Amino acid sequence: MTDRIADIWGERTPHGSGQAWPERVDQVLAEGLTDGDVDRWVQSACVLCSNGCGCDIAVKDGKMVGIRGRAQDRVNRGRLGPKGLYGSWQGEQHRDRLTRPLIRVDGELVETDWDTAMGRIVERSKELLASKGPLSHGFYTSGQLFLEEYYALGMLGKAGIGTPHMDGNTRLCTATAAAALKESFGADGQPGSYTDVDECSAIFLYGHNMAETQTVLWARVLDRLDGPNPPKLVCVDPRDTEVARRADVHLPVHPGTNLALMNGLVRELFANGWIDEDYIAEHTANVEQLRSVVEPWTPEKVAETCGVQAADVRRAAEIFGTEDRVLSTVLQGFYQSAHATASACQVNNLHLLRGMLGRPGCGLLQMNGQPTAQNNRECGADGDLPGFRNWENPQHVQDLARLWNVDPGIIPHWAPPTHALQIFRYVEQGSIELLWISATNPAVSMPQLERIRHILDKDSLFLVVQDIYLTETAQYADVVLPCAAWGEKTGTFTNVDRTVHLSEKAVDPPGEARSDLDVFLDYARRMGFTDKDGQPLLDWSGPEDGFEAWKECSRGRPCDYTGLSYDKLRGGSGIQWPCTDGRPGGTERLYTDGEFPTAPEYCESFGHDLLTGATTGETRYKATVQPGKAWLKAIDYTPPHEEPDAEYPLRYTTGRTAYHFHTRTKTGRSRRLNAAAPDPWIEMSVEDAARAGCQEGDIARVTSRRGSLEVPVRVGDIRPGTVFAPFHYGYWDTSDGGAAAGSGTGDPAVVLKSDGGPHRAANELTVTEWDPVSKQPLFKNAAVRVEKLRSGDGPSKAPDTTASRRATGAQ
């Protein structure tokens, strides 16, 4: 295996259209060890991006000492990416691991035992339920726990407490994927499969820097590109990413203008007759409205609005319109931008107009940003009802109540689930007084961090944080619960192409750390949550009980797990849901018959107005739906709300690098990954850097209406007028608030309250605004100005191996 910091995607194993992707097994063992030293290998799947690569964990003397890709797994055929290879177990063995619960005493977090910590939570929780009721409680979870943990959380929140205030950081990463699928097809669930990469004749990546966010999936694409009869590649991204470099057509749109481009691409399909009239008539509704909405969006108008070439728009549309097997993938460039759901729906519409769904190579992947985001959505920890049930459908609520043996009245279904930013707003206003955050770090990942810090710091808030490290968020907690990490607990999770993996416990968690599932079960027990017969609501003894309970909840729903079991998931490959007795091998693609889950009694949502997010409602839905047909939904483009002006002349967008995951809680503690991208940076074009008087490595101040960054400049190949910052960096590993952009080990609590102020996290600058339908925040639309602060003492430490590499031809 090559060094996978330098060679991110590894050796090529090219394959042609329709051929199986060859195996290539990647493996890393701790220094000095060989295969013979390993006591045993334990089956799992990687959690350091959303791809869901099957892997085995090497164990020696009760410690994790290595990782190896599973050759037989359908997702990766043995491969792993740099984060999995260098950060999976390595990122969990840092001395900073939390090993005992902490409680706040006289303003300081001090170690305590579980009984005391849980006692405090339960005391406050009971007190608030008695005095204020269930709406005083909020839960904010993750895209990185296991299915069983989400389902337990969903049950205790919905049937134990009865609060609608539950969401996950999946709101920041994948909410638009779910929303777009519901709006177009009636329910969540990816139509496509990763094997569509092997079969397609063209691939479109919309705001999806796959080369860095899912490196193994990109390796699969590279193997097609370097094989016989390679697919054509179209990239929509303002940065000159690896994807853009390999693309036949690169559309570097201005951030915030995706919808204009999409309306233009759809228009070209109509204008050139590249549509499947029969499929449209038999399987879709609303085509005339779609046609009229996109009508004004000529390639010239798109070119003017988006800052791209009209000829490129035509060429991209022609590829989509004339290739016979097109795969589309969509991610944060669309999801975290203006008109997120409407833009993502237009991708669905392109496929519907050509009838390109449910056949090999004709896939659609509304991607996820995290490994277990799909399970959060399925299990209802994000506020949706479990099993893709519709909160506006009384029968669905009854079904759940029967399953859980509770009164349907306790299940919050009277209003839309409260989305993450609204939960924080209620905390800000003081009406949510207990917030329980699990496995996520909003003090770095939420927009407008100054505001988030104030909210987390509120006196009226009782904050519970469960995590594996003392994150920037945990610093504010009243109770910190130390949890088991990947490899230290058992559970299942599901990736974007619906592949379910079992991840087995390989070693014991450090110290007194417990699995997140045990914490939730313990809380439910101590709170005395019971069903109608007085029996414990959550009587599971462990994760396998949870999985069996979940199977019943999923029965008959689109995400049907009833044909799966832990035993079936052991050995071999992951399996794609729906998996039932009738389909014991799982299901490779959805909608093969063009039949969509839009029937009112079955659908997950009655839908929304894409412009405002107004709910359609049952009556209107029933009056307009053609059961089984997909919806062609569209709205006109309007400019984003914050556009560049004289004071803030540049567009600001945030994103990811290949070497880090989220807020670097694990990857920042991996020596190799941290060395590959140790510090934040701001990426500018040659022209914009010159205008600001900045050279490579100079320290710049980047200011928006919300705050400022002080970070080194990377002069790169990003489109002029737009600047980019990686969102991973926070404050736990700095001693100076990031002002000097150096790493170190300090006390973040001190740093955050220092006079210098925090100037390192990209989200200091982002705006509190969200998509009206998916409620996903707009991390990629802000206006900023950049000024030089001081000269640097060398180039910035931005990676040179990725989209952040230095400008072509630069010194």
User: Is 568 within 8 Å of 559 (Cβ atoms)?
Assistant: no
Taking CB under 8 A as the criterion, the residue among 14, 22, 613, 678 binding another protein is 613
Q: How far is the CB of 210 from another protein (least distance, A)?
A: 30
Taking CB under 8 A as the criterion, the residue among 54, 84, 416, 607 binding another protein is 416
Q: Which is nearer to another protein, 606 or 659 (CB)?
A: 606
- Segment interacting with another protein (CB under 8 A) among 18-26, 244-252, 415-423, 696-704: 415-423
Q: Which is nearer to another protein, 234 or 773 (CB)?
A: 773
**Within 13 Å, how many C-alpha atoms sit on residue 774's CB side?**
35
C-alpha to C-alpha distances, 624 to 294, 378, 606, 618, nearest whole angstrom: 21, 27, 10, 10
Q: How far is the CB of 616 from another protein (least distance, A)?
A: 8
Q: How far is the CB of 334 from another protein (least distance, A)?
A: 19
- Segment interacting with another protein (CB under 8 A) among 128-136, 218-226, 475-483, 595-603: 128-136
Contacts of 411 (CB under 8 A, 6+ apart): 158, 159, 162, 385, 397, 400, 401
User: Is 763 within 8 Å of 727 (Cβ atoms)?
Assistant: yes
Angle at CA of residue 102, ends 98 and 105, nearest 5°: 150
Q: Which is nearer to another protein, 125 or 422 (CB)?
A: 422
- Segment interacting with another protein (CB under 8 A) among 76-84, 92-100, 362-370, 611-619: 611-619
Using rule CB under 8 A, residue 414 touches another protein: yes
Q: Where are the beta strands (DSSP E) in 99-142?
A: 102-105, 108-111, 137-141
Q: Which is nearer to another protein, 295 or 595 (CB)?
A: 295
Per-residue burial over 744-760, b = 16 or more CB atoms within 10 Å of its CB, e = otherwise: eebebbebbebeebbbb
Pick from 595, 509, 662, 463: which is nearest to 48 by CA? 662
Using rule CB under 8 A, residue 133 touches another protein: yes
What residue has token string 């969006």? 297
Taking CB under 8 A as the criterion, the residue among 16, 18, 394, 430 binding another protein is 430
Using rule CB under 8 A, residue 770 touches another protein: yes
Q: Which is nearer to another protein, 430 or 536 (CB)?
A: 430
Taking CB under 8 A as the criterion, the residue among 16, 571, 617, 639 binding another protein is 617
Q: How far is the CB of 613 from another protein (least distance, A)?
A: 7
What residue has token string 């509120």? 458
Using rule CB under 8 A, residue 394 touches another protein: no
Using rule CB under 8 A, residue 402 touches another protein: no
Using rule CB under 8 A, residue 615 touches another protein: yes
Q: Which is nearer to another protein, 234 or 338 (CB)?
A: 338
- Return the bridge partners of 28, or none: 67
Q: Which is nearer to another protein, 92 or 642 (CB)?
A: 642
Using rule CB under 8 A, residue 99 touches another protein: no
Q: Which is nearer to another protein, 386 or 607 (CB)?
A: 607
Q: How far is the CB of 608 from another protein (least distance, A)?
A: 8
- Segment interacting with another protein (CB under 8 A) among 61-69, 359-367, 470-478, 606-614: 606-614
To the nearest 10°, report the CA torsion of 468, 469, 470, 472.
Answer: -100
Q: Which is nearer to another protein, 447 or 586 (CB)?
A: 447
User: Is 355 within 8 Å of 320 (Cβ atoms)?
Assistant: no
Q: How far is the CB of 427 from another protein (least distance, A)?
A: 11
Using rule CB under 8 A, residue 426 touches another protein: yes
Taking CB under 8 A as the criterion, the residue among 54, 607, 772, 795 binding another protein is 772
Contacts of 673 (CB under 8 A, 6+ apart): 5, 82, 83, 86, 87, 91, 659, 660, 667
Tokens at 336, concatenated = 């975290």
Contacts of 577 (CB under 8 A, 6+ apart): 494, 498, 500, 554, 559, 560, 561, 564, 586, 587
User: Is 355 within 8 Å of 594 (Cβ atoms)?
Assistant: yes
Using rule CB under 8 A, residue 580 touches another protein: no
Using rule CB under 8 A, residue 409 touches another protein: no
Q: How far is the CB of 494 from another protein (least distance, A)?
A: 29
Residues in the chain: 811
Tokens at 195, concatenated = 């094997």
Instruction: Say if residue 107 is exposed, middle or buried (CB neighbours under 10 Å; 0-12, 13-18, 19+).
Output: exposed
Using rule CB under 8 A, residue 336 touches another protein: no
Number of residues that bind another protein (CB under 8 A): 33
Using rule CB under 8 A, residue 3 touches another protein: no
User: Is 515 within 8 Å of 394 (Cβ atoms)?
Assistant: no
**Three-state secondary structure of 141-163:** ECCCCCHHHHHHHHHHHHHHHCC
Residues 135-174 contacting another protein, CB under 8 A: 135-136, 164
Q: Which is nearer to another protein, 592 or 638 (CB)?
A: 638
Q: Which is nearer to another protein, 546 or 640 (CB)?
A: 640
Using rule CB under 8 A, residue 616 touches another protein: yes
Q: How far is the CB of 612 from another protein (least distance, A)?
A: 4
Region class of 583: left (phi > 0), else alpha (psi between -120 and 50), else beta = beta
Q: Which amino acid is at 669?
A: R
Using rule CB under 8 A, residue 86 touches another protein: no
Output phi, psi for 473, to 5 deg: -70, -45
User: Is 219 within 8 Å of 84 (Cβ atoms)?
Assistant: no
Taking CB under 8 A as the criterion, the residue among 422, 475, 774, 796 binding another protein is 422
- Residues of the shown chain interacting with another protein in the complex, contacts defined by CB under 8 A: 132-133, 135-136, 164, 414-416, 418, 421-422, 425-426, 428-432, 609, 611-617, 638, 641, 767-770, 772
